[in-house]
Structure 1
Amino acid sequence: MNIFIANDDGVFAPGIQALAHALKPLGRVVIVAPESERSGFSSALTLDRPLRPISIAPDVWAVNGTPADCVYLSMNGLFDFEFDLVVSGINSGANLGDDVLYSGTVGAAFEGRLMKQPAIAVSLAGSNVRGYEHPEDYAVAAQWVHDFIQAGLPELPPRHILNINIPDVAELQGQKITYQGRRYQSKPITSHVDPRGRQVYWIGLSGEAVAEPKQGIAGIESDFFAVANGFVSITPIQMDATNYEILQNLHEQYR
């Protein structure tokens, strides 16, 4: 199996190093990742300048672009062989609920949505994760990904991926298939005056999770619920964002 790995934390991030090490027993592992952190880039592609992939080690490449750039290049001619699976991560921090709209980790996985097997986005969720500087900090999560892939990935419809969040806990409670939760409105922006007297702004923190059950899917909890209770959250998400529940009504109204 040829396994492609990308991320949005950069090619030298400890999460991607731990993931590559854990997956090597499953086949050839190739890393193509941004040369520096590109968090929050979603599925953005670089169209205003050339991209420069640089081989920094055997089967490890750094790219002066976004996470999605890395996957796009690799799927469209950078290599003379095909990949069987795209794994994006392990991200330093959760990608839950509305986070998937902005996440470069999820964006990279979506760029690999046409793979023969489902592309997966993997994040480590916990309050201390941002301080993790060594691959060993991600070893438990990386081993879980190895075991999940080795056991056989589920079949999904085309253009779907799996968004996986692994809680940073001493002992995992298992795994849950979850739906994508949602957050309350983001925290307000923070305004400052820089040393040159210019007004600058920081984007506010994400809003808190909305604690309410999803109608029509009894017995299935949200990704937030799973992670908060020590379970790995596995959420199938899709590229097609059409709301089919109201599509027909709108069609009748405006035809």
Structure 2
Amino acid sequence: MKQILLTNDDGFDAIGLKALIEALSPIAKIIVVAPAKNKSACGHSLTLDRPLRLVNVDDDYYKIDDGTPTDCVFISLNNLFKEGFKPDLVISGINIGANMGEDITYSGTAAGAMEAVLQGIPAIAISQVCRNRCEDIKEGFDFALAKKTIAKIAKKILDDKFPLENRKFLNINIPPISIEECEGIKITKAGFREYGNDTHRHYNPRGEEFYWIGLHPLIWQESPNKNCDFEAIKANYVSITPIMLDLTSYNDIEKLNNWL
């Protein structure tokens, strides 16, 4: 039977992870290794300054105390699988909130998929875009469109092959709509996110200053062909973006040589 390793950055008991398990259990054996607590926006960070505990929560279900999604994938691939055997696919998510544009570089969800492809395992990051994060969570997601989409894509990969080359993964974003409202799937590029500086200064009872970093609204620059992830979501499409880990700006190599 095919094996899928799951992780996330919202924590081992997150509702999105539970929805992912429900969607994929009929098509593969599921192994879960996720952070013990929320690690959103931790990026592709690996813990090197302290030991980590892999805690067995249930059958094939583990959490890592204070671990990141990268830790989860790295440790599980090197300790939970017999030598010479690896999962057929790694899926990170379902994240509560979008991971589009340059937010991919902040994303712990995307980082789980990054680590998998660095280790030679095909991977997907999947995120559920919210209209209003707090209200959506309070009212409860059914994740119907996300579950249908990930089951379809995962089955196609397991039955056939992963469509990308080494060190590349699929980044999927799901619009906040029902299955019936969805216009289909679009293959997109990562858009250009616009950022503000939403920080809030506060003081604790001892008069010491501290800051909270807030959430920025989803604002982006329009692309000429309307083919970025933000625009697909706005038009009620599922967005699938191929992401590569090679960050080299090849067009600038000759420019830099001439500049020097």
TM normalised by structure 2 equals: 0.89
Partner secondary structure for residue 132 of structure 1? helix
2:56 match = 55
How far residue 10 of structure 1 moved from its aligned partner, in angstroms, is: 0.5
Deviates most, 240-249 or 139-148: 139-148
Aligned counterparts, 1:99-138, within 5 A? 99-114=103-118, 118-130=122-134, 131-132=136-137, 137-138=142-143
Is 1:184 aligned to residue 194 of structure 2? yes
Cα distance per residue 1:89-130 (max 9 Å; x no partner): 000111111111110000111000146663110000012444
Change (3 A) 1:222 1:116: same
Computed over aligned residues only, the root mean square deviation of the Cα atoms, in angstroms, reads 2.0
Q: Is the contact made by 1:181 and 1:209 (CA closer than 8 Å) also made in structure 2?
A: no
Cα distance per residue 1:63-88 (max 9 Å; x no partner): 11111100001122232241110100
Counterpart of 2:254 (choices 229, 248, 251) is: 248
Partner secondary structure for residue 96 of structure 1? coil
How far residue 207 of structure 1 moved from its aligned partner, in angstroms, is: 5.3
Aligned counterparts, 1:75-86, within 5 A? 75-80=77-82, 81-86=85-90
Q: Is the contact made by 2:9 and 2:39 (CA closer than 8 Å) also made in structure 1?
A: yes
Matching residue's letter, 1:78: L
CA distance in 2, matches of 1:173, 1:115: 35
Is 1:91 aligned to residue 99 of structure 2? no
1:212 match = 222
How far residue 253 of structure 1 moved from its aligned partner, in angstroms, is: 3.1
CA distance in 2, matches of 1:134, 1:69: 32
Deviates most, 40-49 or 149-158: 149-158
1:155 match = 163
Equivalent residue pairs, number? 250
Is 1:233 aligned to residue 239 of structure 2? yes
How far residue 220 of structure 1 moved from its aligned partner, in angstroms, is: 5.8
Matching residue's letter, 1:125: V
Counterpart of 1:71 (choices 44, 50, 73) is: 73
Structure 2, unaligned runs of 5 or more: none
**Sequence identity (%):** 41
CA distance in 2, matches of 1:48, 1:111: 19
How far residue 142 of structure 1 moved from its aligned partner, in angstroms, is: 1.5
How far residue 199 of structure 1 moved from its aligned partner, in angstroms, is: 1.2
Partner secondary structure for residue 205 of structure 2? coil
2:185 match = 175
Is 1:27 aligned to residue 28 of structure 2? yes
1:198 match = 208
Deviates most, 70-79 or 40-49: 70-79
Structure 1, unaligned runs of 5 or more: none
